Structure 1
Amino acid sequence: MNKKLSQRIDWMITLLPFLLILALCLTFFTAPEASGAALNAIRSFLGEEFGWYYLLIGLGIFLLTLYLAFSRFGPIRLGGDRPQYSFFQWGSMMFTAGLAADILFYSLCEWMTYATDVHVRSLGDPQDWAGSFSLFHWGPVPWGFYLALSVAFAFMIHVRKRNKQKYSEACRALLKQHTDGIPGRLIDLIAVFALIAGTATTFAVSAPLLSGAISAIFSVKDSTALTIAILLFICVVYTVCAYFGIHGISIMAASCTWLFFALLLYVLFLGGMPRYILETGLSSIGNVAQNFISLCTYTDPLRKTGFAQNTTIFYWAYWMVWCVATPFFIGSISRGRTIREVILGGYAAGLLGTWVSFIVLGNYGLGLQMFGKIDLLGMYAESGNLYETILTILRTLPGYRFVLILLVLAMIAFYATSFDSIAVVASAYSYREMSSDEEPDRRLKLFWSILLILLPIALLFSESSMANLQTVSIIAAFPIGFIMILILASFFRDASDYLKEQEQEGNAKEH
């Protein structure tokens, strides 16, 4: 890096969180049992004693997005005269950047975890509830996290044209001069720490499925070496795309979207159960709509099953950690749209992609179980291996090798697009100051692209360490929740001032 670039980089915010993550990894390797016990104790404490906190933030922010869309703030245009991207380009980048390949893994198997859960079974037939909980946990509340912060960041970047693209800068209307002091630095350190921890563990969920699918396609042995080779290939793909900036990400996002829907259409029409899949999906949507408030506020106060702590609270916390990067990216590509368009369009694009995935892929597997074609729940109960059970589901489809190829390509594209956007956001975060229309230096994007893949590769050698780091991500969501509230409160103050300024300018012109 040349001297000019090195002087623009905020080295403490860039390197200190990464060094902390490495220190934690070293601790996990040298004292796995003690560190794991300590982290699980903290995570259990937060879930047991402060589960209501995560649930209130989830419901509150969702309701806040609806207020934003239909209030006096809704017509505020986030810079420019017209949208920078078409709705398809914008929606596909937002959808693919916010979910990674986890969406495909969970769509295929999550219904099984609900169908065997004691709490879900107590509510009624798994046919009615297994799919409903998937739509709830990947529905309006988590997308509300993304969209509320996206509006705040887009307003900061495109309307106020702030020269710092960081969490702390979004709090300036409240923190004032303290934004540049210790409170602001602490906010940014927590944010980058959560970003690295969250992205380092996202491969933990889906990488084994990707590796198993490639193993089945090419009849090669599934191994750690194969998984590492896959991760390195993905790194090359998303590094190239990130290197070419938003244009490269846009192309990858569009490719990912087409591959994704090609896979869904193949399963829907060639799987032999289109009527069942669609009708079960429609029933699940109705079930979520009818029970939405009770689902959002269920805490299991007597701790009969621990369902709320192990599922809803877990999901909300994990989405909150991802809010460090994804809303910045959505905000950056939303120039020219109004707040109302970002929120309503965001829900439309996000829920369309997410819910269609769970309805088609999840209900196909559920249908195999309900019609007695194959005992997937028995297989899962016996082996405890979700990845092998998923491959069994896919083998029931005609031309299953082609299906596996589609799955692999879609997963790689999802990973590449997600990490493209994260690398761009992290690179922008590393600058002390950066204008709203400036892209990060390509060398810095290359640095972050490589950095984001190193921890997942290192952690492949220790499953306990991966689980521990995922727990760190969940714990990191606790302070992130307070910061999110601070950002939104700051946005409301800043947006109110902006509307007053616009009104005064209008009155001045009339006179």
Structure 2
Amino acid sequence: MKKSSIDYFVTIVPFLLVISLVMLFFIFPTQAGNILAQIRSLLNNSLGIFYLIFGLFIFLLSIYIAFSKYGSIKLGSGKKEHSNFAWGTMMFTAGLAADILFYSLCEWMLYANEGRISSLGDTTLWSATYPLFHWGPIPWGFYVVLASCFGFMLHVRKRTRAKYSEGLRVLLGSKVDGIWGKIVDLIAVFALIAGTATTFSLATPLLSQTVAKLFGVSNNNILTIVILIVTCVIYSACAYLGIEGVSKLASCCTYLFFALLIYVFFGGGHGKFILELGFASLGNLVNNFFSMSTYIDPTGQSTFAQDWTVFYWAYWMVWCVATPFFIGSISKGRTIKEVILGGYIFGLSGTFMSFIILGNYGIALNVLGQVDLLKIYNESQNLYQTIGEVISSLPLPFIAMILLILTMITFYATTFDSITLVAASYSYKDLENKEPSKKIKLYWSILLILLPIGLIFSDNSMSNLQTVSIIAAFPIGIIMLLLIISFFKDADMYLNGN
């Protein structure tokens, strides 16, 4: 690639903006935090209904697209580039970072003390149901709908600019080549950088704690930085190798993930409880899906929807900057219907198994009186310490620790090497080849890890940056709507022979 083909504005400006923001957090932490908290409060309380409506709309739209005339559109000519297993594992691992393991082990604890949960009746059942809802059909709906739009853009229309702005070309015309396109891509990359820093902040402390406990070393910032660097080296190497490297790491991650689930299910001794509660929570989710999707307390007495459902929908929307592009890019040769239904099958089966096995094992320890996890958490307010008690309760806990460490590292690496491939595409004005150059991929690999490392030393900055990633979801949501409208317009033209 010639240097002239590099889009320096989209490559450099988002990074400078984030660094400037972080510096403001360091210099004026209280003032910056207050301003961001007020903006987030406005979005959550005044516009929270937007996220709920949008989430339900996207899910229903995905079903319509799959079984309408649009579902029969094949994404490119020729046979499928990847086997169903390779495609499914890449899609699942790209869509979820190591935070799925963190939340699978602890999310039920976060709901157990909520007034909303106790008001519904069976606290145990609802604490197991809400994680399935927040990691279920609606979040994956965001992914599969946009993956269809981008897959159509890349493989049917054969556009070489793998950017959000390019998806709006049919709607905005040549304006996407000017300032409006730059603004769209700037928002997308800024949200991506902030979102990746947020993800690293969630699960890395659990990883550090487990490594420290396994090897008997001190759990400190140096250990966390070493872990992040090792993870960066792994995903940089795979991104450097391209799709083949991503595919191999995704398969490795999937095998480790299922090894961990099998070990907890059979080794923990609560398989019957896990299955029964899992079956009941799935039924509860189906029966109450629409009431959960539309629940928001207009009186303001409960902030459960704002604190959790709105937060999750916004968080998944930020991740829609990269993951759907990757899913769309690896789906050549498949129909849009296959992408949507396959996404739901592989995505939901993985997330549901994780929460049902890991989450329900913790609930079993608590409910059956083996370990009072809620008491430990309520007294310490330390999720990582409480999760440590869950792992320690397993037979030969060092095996569980090794599996957890390896699975988390490969989850991080698989997710971020796919993100690196997408982010690197934004660095080009026009991507003539299938993949960005290795130097550009390496640049983004390093860039994505620098922010989490720098923010380890500032808890306030990390908290504020998490808020920034949620705030970024609002304009992303508007852009997503425009992308969908553009897709329908373009797809109609295609089906009519234009």
- TM bin (shorter chain): over 0.9
- Equivalent of residue 405 in structure 2, options 405, 408, 414: 408
- How many residues were matched structurally? 498
Q: 1:279, 1:80 → 2: CA distance?
A: 45
Aligned to 1:506: none
Please, which moves more after superposition, 426-435 or 456-465? 426-435
Aligned to 1:69: 66
1:501 alignment partner, SS class: coil
Counterpart residue type for residue 116 of structure 1:
N
**Cα offsets for 1:241-272 (capped at 9, x unmatched):** 00000000000000000000000001001110
Aligned to 1:79: 76
Q: 1:490, 1:386 → 2: CA distance?
A: 43
- Equivalent of residue 106 in structure 1, options 93, 98, 103: 103
Counterpart residue type for residue 342 of structure 2:
G
Please, which moves more after superposition, 197-206 or 313-322? 197-206
Q: 2:176, 2:28 → 1: CA distance?
A: 38
Counterpart residue type for residue 224 of structure 2:
T
Aligned to 1:346: 343
- Equivalent of residue 251 in structure 1, options 229, 232, 248: 248
The yes-or-no answer on 1:458 pairing with 2:454 is: yes
Runs of at least 5 residues in structure 2 that lack an aligned partner in the other structure: none
Q: 1:376, 1:200 → 2: CA distance?
A: 29
Aligned to 2:199: 202
**Cα offsets for 1:158-199 (capped at 9, x unmatched):** 000012110010011111121112221111111111011111
Q: 2:461, 2:355 → 1: CA distance?
A: 30
Aligned to 2:119: 122
Aligned to 1:499: 495
Aligned to 1:172: 169
Q: 2:225, 2:264 → 1: CA distance?
A: 29
TM-score, with structure 1 as normaliser: 0.97
Q: 1:237, 1:373 → 2: CA distance?
A: 38
The yes-or-no answer on 1:487 pairing with 2:483 is: yes
**Cα offsets for 1:91-128 (capped at 9, x unmatched):** 10011111110000000000001111111111112111
Aligned to 2:327: 330
1:372 alignment partner, SS class: coil
**RMSD of the TM alignment (CA)?**
0.8
- Runs of 4+ deviating beyond 6 Å: none
Aligned to 1:476: 472
2:70 alignment partner, SS class: coil
- Equivalent of residue 97 in structure 1, options 94, 103, 106: 94
Q: 1:483, 1:299 → 2: CA distance?
A: 24
Per-residue deviation, 1:5 = 3.1
Aligned to 1:159: 156
Runs of at least 5 residues in structure 1 that lack an aligned partner in the other structure: 503-511
Per-residue deviation, 1:477 = 0.3
Please, which moves more after superposition, 78-87 or 472-481? 78-87
Q: 2:93, 2:2 → 1: CA distance?
A: 30
Aligned to 2:31: 34
Counterpart residue type for residue 87 of structure 2:
W
Please, which moves more after superposition, 171-180 or 135-144? 171-180
Aligned to 2:284: 287
Please, which moves more after superposition, 81-90 or 140-149? 81-90
**Cα offsets for 1:126-150 (capped at 9, x unmatched):** 1110010000000000000011000
Please, which moves more after superposition, 75-84 or 156-165? 75-84
**Cα offsets for 1:45-72 (capped at 9, x unmatched):** 1100000101111000110100010001
1:37 alignment partner, SS class: helix
2:296 alignment partner, SS class: coil
**Cα offsets for 1:314-373 (capped at 9, x unmatched):** 000000000000000000000000000000011000000000000000000000111111
1:73 alignment partner, SS class: helix
Q: 1:269, 1:393 → 2: CA distance?
A: 15
Per-residue deviation, 1:433 = 0.2
1:225-236 alignment, distance < 5 Å: 225-236=222-233
Counterpart residue type for residue 384 of structure 1:
Q
Per-residue deviation, 1:299 = 1.2
Aligned to 1:421: 418
Aligned to 1:443: 439
Q: 2:302, 2:290 → 1: CA distance?
A: 20
1:281 alignment partner, SS class: helix
Please, which moves more after superposition, 64-73 or 77-86? 77-86
Q: 2:354, 2:281 → 1: CA distance?
A: 13
Per-residue deviation, 1:200 = 1.6
The yes-or-no answer on 1:189 pairing with 2:160 is: no
Aligned to 2:257: 260
Identity %: 57
- Equivalent of residue 375 in structure 2, options 378, 383, 403: 378
- Equivalent of residue 301 in structure 2, options 304, 320, 341: 304
- Equivalent of residue 274 in structure 2, options 262, 273, 277: 277
Per-residue deviation, 1:81 = 2.1
2:497 alignment partner, SS class: helix
Counterpart residue type for residue 499 of structure 1:
L
